[in-house]
Amino acid sequence: MQQPRVLVLQDISASCRISMNVAVPVLSCLNNAVNVLPTALLSTHTGVRFPDYTFLDLTSEIKKIIQHWKVLSIQFDGILVGYLGSIEQINLVRELKRDFLKEDGILVLDPVMGDHGFLYPGFDTMYVEEMRKLCQEVSVLLPNMTEASLLVGRDYQPAPYTPEQIESLLKELASLNRQKVMLTGVSFEAGKVGAASYDYENQTMTNAFGPLQPGLFDGTGDLFSSVIGGFMFQRKPLSYAMETAVEYVHRVIMRTIESGAELRFGVQFETDLPYLIERLYQK
């Protein structure tokens, strides 16, 4: 069987199990041939629990790599985009799509900008504006509730939500890309959290929930989008990917808590990778 050749575009937070460091192993387990473009190299992520992180922007190197790849006529079946450091990099995504994504290729975008009602350091309203434009070009849009609120210009509201609120938010987001949208951090009742998705094409809405563990688990958003990307590139149904991602992230959080590892360094995602592989071959 021919494997999808896929590109991951996001940062390397060197000491943390988040972003590129989790995307590559997850996509590989899901039988995708992975190529990478690191957007930046950091010592850690930029969260408040690491005030002194280092940051090396890799935009100029990406431009050189793109030039070489053009000569090689590289083409991708899928592109997964996570944390980008600048508006210039948002524009590079457009270029990558135009020049390297096959006609029927899938572009999955996690519009990483913020969480818990706040923008991450280094992002501003101009960035949000450009990200909104990029959303119009993607096959699968994967914001959390904070990013979704920013994208549609609504005030962020913490959980719980009503099904009607989520339905209207999903539809508003889907009016941007007119394809698939999945919202993370959705909760209709105390103690449960998960995701909700909407497919513009057949106007179907689905939800998946699991038990909520209180706490901040850095990297779970990146892990979630990697699982969704991995299954979409394998042409599996969106709802199947979503159910799998919700259950997997729940298992990973339980492992992480059990391990006693420092949460700011990310999550223990390795132990449960076999679950993802099982799910891949079940469908």
Q: Does 39 bind ligand PXL (CB under 6 A)?
A: no
- Binding residues among 244-283 for ligand PXL as defined by CB under 6 A: none
Beta strands 76-81; 101-109: pairing state: parallel
42 binds ligand PXL (CB under 6 A): yes
Instruction: Please tell me whether residue 11 binds ligand PXL under the rule CB under 6 A.
Output: yes
Quick one: which of 47, 59, 119, 272 contacts ligand PXL (CB under 6 A)?
Answer: 47
In order, the DSSP letters of 126-147 are: HHHHHHHHHHTT-SEE--BHHH
Query: What is the spatial order of strands in the sheet that 76-81 belongs to?
Result: 55-57, 33-42, 5-13, 76-81, 101-109, 140-141, 180-186, 192-199, 204-211
Select 22 or 174, whichever has its Cβ closest to ligand PXL: 22
Q: Using the rule CB under 6 A, is 180 a contact of ligand PXL?
A: no
Query: Measured from the CB of residue 61, what is the shortest distance to ligand PXL in angstroms?
Result: 17
What phi-psi label fits residue 260: left (phi over 0), alpha (psi between -120 and 50 degrees) or beta? left
Q: Does 143 bind ligand PXL (CB under 6 A)?
A: no
What part of residues 213-232 is at the interface with ligand PXL (CB under 6 A)? 219, 221-222
User: Is residue 111 within the footprint of ligand PXL (CB under 6 A)?
Assistant: no
109 binds ligand PXL (CB under 6 A): no
Does 138 engage in binding with ligand PXL (CB under 6 A)?
A: no
Q: Which amino acid is at 151?
A: L
Among 180, 7, 10, 6, which residue's Cα sits nearest to residue 82?
Answer: 10
Residue 130 Cβ vs ligand PXL, minimum distance, rounded to whole Å:
18
Maximum CA extent, the chain: 54
Residue among 121 and 274 whose Cβ is closer to ligand PXL = 121
Residue 179 amino acid letter: Q
Q: Left if phi > 0, otherwise alpha if psi is -120 to 50, otherwise beta: which for 247?
A: alpha
Q: List residues binding ligand PXL (CB under 6 A).
A: 11, 13, 18-19, 42, 45-47, 83, 112, 120, 219, 221-222
